[in-house]
Chains A and B, each alone.
Chain A
Amino acid sequence: MTQQNSRRDFIKASTMLAIGFSLPSIGKAESLHKIDTSSASALGIELNPYILINDDGKIILFNARPDMGQGTYQSLPLLIAEELEVTLDQVEIRNTDGQGKYGAQLSGGSSSVRTRWLPMRKAGAAVKEMLITAASKKWQVPVSECYALEAKVFHKPSGKSYTYGELVEEASKLEIPKEPKLKDQKDFKLLGKSVPRPEIPSKVNGTAVFGIDSDIPGMLYASIERSPTIHGKVVSFDGSAAMKVKGVKYVVKTERKMPHKAVEAVAVIADTYWAALKGRKALKINWDAQGSDKISTDAYFENLRNLAKTDGIEYKNEKVGDFNKAFGSATKKVEAQYETPFLAHAPLEPENATVWVQGDKVEIWAPIQGPDGLIPQVAAYLKIKPENVKVNVPFMGGAFGRKAYFDYVLEAANLSKQVNAPVKVIWTREDDTMQGPFRPGMLSAMQGGLDEKGNVVAHNHKIVGSSIQHQVFGNPLKNAPDDWAIETANTEDSPYDFASRKASFHLAETDIPILWWRSVYSSTTAFGQESFIDELAHAAKTDPLAFRLDMLADAPRFSRVLQTLAKKANYHQKLPEGQAIGIAVARSFGTIVAHAVTVSKSGKGVKIEKVVSVIDCGMTVNPDNIKAQTEGNIVMGLTAAIKNGITIKDGLTEQSNFHQYNVLRINEMPKTEVYIVDNQEAPGGVGEPGLPPFAPALCNAIYNLTGTRIRTLPFDIDNIG
């Protein structure tokens, strides 16, 4: 570690004001409602972007991934804290505000710990080294005689100590070490230990601040009537009745700017949310559907089935051997198609945003998955400079991918600009359910060939459906398959030793707004992949577990997960009469999860007796949260399998609220057991990987019990054909 020069780039808190540094609205759990309005100079010295220490000892750690319930508010700061030698009750955690110095700040793709595991630890370790060096200089003793513990540096021989606050000024003059020494895993005190999450108390006493809780002096509320067929145009509107509602201040034409299309809308803006909503219900709008009344999910799926008859664009990297030849000469051929529906995300906190546009500057308070991604979109939309966009990141009341699509923030920006006041837009549950974006409806067309011994000699997975990259990100996909759609079924994520395999993608364009939904395409692609493996096992007259293990001999982590699952779920023990077990395994976002679902007969349907899950996500940050996320994925996977999909007829979404778009409730919750495979591998994702293998494990169990193969989701679990 170098000690010579003052590092040129250290930033004193006082200069942070000048560069536009500002505080996100999240403080310590117990003070979440009290926004710190003290000047930034009182906050401390920034030793690197993620760590700020005040000379009175206050330590602030920055979380660069907004928390939507998957635990980033703890997990990223905990990575810093482990190396910095502080505990979470010695620090305050703040969310980052989208500034470039914090790097990528999108929560998504189960990437937070995976991508920040080393950078966050290095940030903590570097500052710890600087503080130790500062202490050694003050004491004029060798660095080797000093160590850090619980926010202090100690001199081992004398027992003297300095708090970090007493060292920060000196430390800030030092260079930031580029390659600080990281702790050995065996010395971890926090990582891997299920430390309680620091924000939990605020989430049981009502003080946690979610986006919808933003409350700005002078703020107006808006409720927006959008085209019932999603893509309509306002021909004319009559707001006179709305204006008569007490509290309504404005009725204005506005728009909903989606990445692929901007559509017109009419907003009612009022003193209170209730007045805005009442005013909205009094609007009379004449819509021109502009053809969007022709949209139907039935027609969409019909198109997928037609497309499935022809070859898609091949994933070249997934090609193994000569599929056509091997399939042609296979002893036994198996073919099946699987369909998964459009789904709404339905976070319990509906989309909402509070935005205040003031000339060429704007401030935003909104539940969003990525402040750094929001800033350029708002800047472009309002035609202002990105540095004039200030974002406050509160907690999200669930998101599941939805809150990385910023249409609702742009709506509030549009209205604030029009009425020159801070405006809070709140979507109703009906807006959330009916307007999209949705998980795309998908089809997997599978072919498999077996030789006379029952070995898989040929495997083909054709994915048919719409492309998020194409619609949302404008990727033309000219002669290229959507590389997201094959996730969890590619050779790495599904490393079955098929003698030959191919995979392809057929793009079905649609105007239905689509977006990633918890686990993106893995939740749809894995259904075909892991159901079909079971179909092949039965065709080969082999036990589905043994069949898989046989083809995963060269994939030791998969084998270990399945063997652990077999043991924990008592797979080889005889089940009581009228019960059956089914399994599935899938890797997504760098993590392998397998579920064993035990089902029993219940009237015309089946009852889930138990779900046993095994997850291998490499090294762990918070094992208890890994279990919680896997439980949550079981709930969401089960909901997606047996509750409502989104269907659209004549352009109208047929589900509007939780009475038509049902989600699992506590009385339907099966017993769950989650086990974590202990290992030293690099961390994988946790927020999503439990979801993809759930539906196939359930349907495989149902086949084993009833002989009925379910190939279309959702299905009625109370009435199995």
Chain B
Amino acid sequence: MSKVRVLVGTRKGAFVLTSDARREGWEISGPHFAGWEIYHLKGSPVNPDRLYASQTSGWFGQVIQRSNDGGKTWEPVGNKFVYEGSPGTHQWYDGSQRPWEFKRVWKLEPSLVEPETVYAGVEDAALFRSSDGGQTWQELAGLRSVKGNLWAPGAGGMCLHTIIQDTDNPKRFYTAISAAGAFRTDDGGQTWQAVNRGLKSDYELADPDAEVGHCVHSIAMHPSRPDVLFMQKHWDVMRTDDAGESWHEISGNLPTDFGYTIAVHSHEPETIYIVPIKSDSEHFPPDGMLRVYRSRTGGNDWEALTKGLPQSNCYVNVFRSAMAVDTLDPCGVYFGTTGGQVYGSTDSGDSWAPIVRDFPPVLSVEVQTLS
């Protein structure tokens, strides 16, 4: 029988939630690395018991943890992230230039094809690769050569938070950075191009159509259609059908198109999920009602999913890496909140129930479907 493993990173540790395919009863393990911020955990698609975790602290810096038994035991691996060559400078909030400085790892993305390869998206924004299971890290510095001097931090820092490997062409990757935009490589990470045509950042950039500088919050892709990407930008929900060459808006009838997270149904490539947040200054759901919005048409037509979610006095946020889907049928959808709840749906979002209610603020949610 299949099993589902939900990996939850929080402000005060990591948790592993496990259930059988019914997804009714959950075994909870954790907190692992208690007291530390866990920005992200993710399992290898090649070896699902190989997990990586980004463990970080304002006092003690960055640690990378690795598990070879599905999260039962962990070992620290390499945590030396050094920018290649002279790091150069990027734009600061006031328009001045400031040197690149490593702060933490936001995202860990194990390779789809190579069991010992894993990618790390870091703040200040850069992409690193390890080919030895996380023991050593090398920067893919070609990314920062795409007008890196014009990148600037978003409110949460200048972070590379999205890494997507093309399922058909493992040499093609997409990354996204706040606030620089989306980028693509077709040669495994040596050379990159900005793929931001069609994004508009009125009031945020001097040139709303600038090649770089856009505050992309997250991107999602369905593995069966790697040229189609869905984006939650700072404001605006966007879509590309040509691998990022051009984007168009699909916000449609959303009550607000500000938000952080976006996900695609595991069996329906035109069904997408977001959690609208009121605005960039009020980081909570509109009207205190926690609603996931689903579009079954690839955008523009959205329906509110409310059953089982609090519909009054709810003022949590859902961060960019805090929503994920399983591959069971019907598709399971999961998301975590800054209030410490992890909600799950076993019917593609029609109804929801909390798996846990009182975790520390949730930073990330990932799901593994295990056979």
Bound pair (A, B): no
